[in-house]
Amino acid sequence: MASGTAPSDRPRPVGRGPKVRAAVLLATLAELYEAGYAEFSIDNVAQRAGVNKTTVYRRWKDRPTLVVDAVTDQIAIEMPIPDTGAIEGDLRELALSLIKTLTSPIGRALASIMLAAAHVPEIAEVKHRFFDDRIRHAEPIVLRAIQRGDLPADTEPAELIKALIAPIYLRLLITSEALDQTVADQATRIALAAAHAGALTRRTRPRDRN
C-alpha cells in the first residue's frame, strides 16, 4: 500500500451528481450499521464513499440531515406501498413490511436515530418530518379504499395509518414483544374496526401538535 500522504491514497473521485449522492448515502448506511448513530462520523462516511469531506458537507449540512436522507431513501426502497385491490390486504402488507423493516439493520439504525431524538432538537424535527412524510406516502391505500366504497367516506387517511402502526411501535419500543405476522394481522383488524366504527374521521382526529 502507498503511504498515507501519497496521492494514490486519496479518496478516488466517484463522479458528480447522482453517483456521488448514491455513494455517500450507501456509505452512510454502512457507517450506521457498523458504528451506530452515537459513534457516526462524517469523516468515515467520506472515506467509505471515496469522496472529500467537503463534498459531503456541500450537500448535507450536518449529521442528522445526512442520516435521515440515507434512511428515508432506503426505507422507501424497502417499503413499497402495496396495492392488492382490497384494503385488508393492503394494510396487512404495509404492516408486514414495516415489521420487516423495523427488525432489519436499517430498522435498528432508525431506532438509534429515534432514541437520539429525545435529546437533540434538530433530530426531533427531522424525525417529525420523516414520519409525517412516511404516513402521507401510505395515504393512497386509504383513498383507494374510500373510492371503492370499502371504508367510510369521512375516514382520515393519516389517522387510519397511525391506528395501524401504533400497535407495532408499542411492541417494539414499550412492551418488547415479538414482531411477527400475528402482530400484523391484529394491527390490521384494529385499524379496520376503528375505521368502520367512525373513530378515524376528521371530526375525531386529535388536534395538530402544539
136 belongs to the binding site for its own copies (CB under 8 A): no
Report the candidate in 171, 179, 2 with the shortest Cα–Cα distance to residue 101.
179
Q: Which span sits near its own copies by CB under 8 A: 72-80, 82-90, 137-145, 186-194?
A: 186-194
Between 62 and 180, CB nearer to its own copies: 180
Instruction: Say whether 193 sits in a helix, a strand or coil.
Output: helix
Kindly write out the interface string for residues 148-167 of this chain, putting x where it contacts its own copies by CB under 8 A and - elsewhere.
-----------x--xx-xxx
- Report the nearest approach of its own copies to the CB of residue 192 (Å): 8
Q: How far apart are CA 9 and CA 26, in angstroms?
A: 21
Q: Are 120 and 68 in contact (CB under 8 A)?
A: no
Distances (CA, A) of 127 to 33, 36, 64, 111, 190: 19, 17, 9, 11, 26
- Which of 76, 86, 143, 193 touches its own copies (CB under 8 A)? 193
Report the candidate in 194, 203, 201 with the shortest Cα–Cα distance to residue 165.
194
Partner residues linked to 201 by β-bridges: 155
- Report the nearest approach of its own copies to the CB of residue 91 (Å): 12
180 belongs to the binding site for its own copies (CB under 8 A): yes
- Which of 14, 115, 120, 146 touches its own copies (CB under 8 A)? 115
Report the candidate in 72, 66, 68 with the shortest Cα–Cα distance to residue 48.
66
Residues of the shown chain interacting with its own copies in the complex, contacts defined by CB under 8 A: 111-112, 114-115, 118, 124, 127-128, 131-132, 135, 159, 162-163, 165-167, 169-171, 173-178, 180, 182-183, 185-186, 189-190, 192-194, 196-200, 204-210
